[in-house]
């Protein structure tokens, strides 16, 4: 797999992610008011914004906590491109490079929200957001909120009464609301975790391949 192929994959995912976020941001009311069923009651578009990481997780709600998270994302994305390029040069297989591209695309997609969305969008708290002149949005640079919209509450019910601590409480699967970038990151990471032995190998260099072919044909 060539580096430009990995870049193309990243760009395609990034475009799909950003188009979906901008559409949701500028057409949907936040929360239940703007919720739309896609397939029955278990696949929905549900517009939420979060100030943290994937699936709404947070490290801090403070000004500096958000800034640190965004800067960490920026450093991680820049480093990710160098690592991916190095892996291509070292001859890693298509599978691991594809997973790396998915993870990098997802991280970059959420990074764009965090850096720029606060500068170019109006607040979404009580109305549908719109584009505004640069710098007049709802938050300063590096403090934008990440747009989430995919919601799959496929199973809901109550925990059995005998379960300590949570017996009788409601549960829902799958409760987190996420976006295309989150899905790309999760797919890449989980694939690496479950298939690491098969994926984490290097393809032999061209001269090694030629030597093997010469031996087998002789």
Residues marked as catalytic = 148, 182
Are 37 and 44 in contact by the 8 Å Cβ rule? The answer is yes
Q: At what angle do helices 180-194 and 3-27 cross, to 10 degrees?
A: 140
Neighbour tally for 159: CB within 10 Å: 14
Written as six digits, the tokens of 24 are: 């949701």
Written as six digits, the tokens of 119 are: 């500068």
Taking the CA atoms of 34, 38, 22 and 184 in sequence, report the sign of the dihedral they define. Answer: positive
Are 66 and 138 in contact by the 8 Å Cβ rule? The answer is no
User: ω into residue 174 within 30 of 0, thus cis?
Assistant: yes
Among the listed residues 197, 14, 13, 6, the one whose alpha carbon sits nearest the alpha carbon of residue 86: 6
Q: What is the C-alpha separation between 142 and 119, in angstroms, rounded?
A: 9
Written as six digits, the tokens of 38 are: 């896609």
């Amino acid at each position: 797999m060539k580096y430009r192929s990995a870049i193309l994959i990243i760009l395609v995912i990034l475009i799909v992610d950003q188009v979906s976020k901008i559409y949701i941001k500028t057409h949907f009311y936040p929360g239940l008011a703007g919720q739309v069923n896609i397939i029955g009651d278990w696949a929905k578009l549900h517009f939420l914004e979060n100030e943290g990481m994937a699936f709404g997780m947070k490290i801090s709600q403070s000004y500096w906590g958000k800034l640190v998270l965004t800067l960490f994302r920026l450093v991680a994305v820049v480093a990710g491109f160098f690592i991916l390029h190095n892996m291509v040069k070292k001859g890693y297989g298509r599978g691991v490079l594809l997973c790396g591209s998915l993870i990098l695309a997802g991280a970059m997609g959420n990074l764009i929200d965090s850096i720029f969305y606060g500068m170019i969008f109006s607040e979404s708290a009580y109305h549908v957001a719109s584009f505004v002149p640069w710098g007049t949005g709802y938050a300063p640079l590096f403090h934008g909120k990440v747009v989430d919209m995919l919601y799959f509450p496929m199973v809901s019910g109550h925990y059995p009464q005998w379960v300590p601590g949570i017996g009788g409480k409601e549960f829902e699967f799958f409760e987190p609301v996420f976006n295309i970038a989150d899905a790309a990151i999760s797919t890449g990471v989980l694939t690496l975790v479950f298939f690491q032995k098969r994926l984490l190998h290097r393809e032999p260099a061209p001269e090694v391949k030629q030597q093997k072919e010469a031996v087998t044909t002789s």
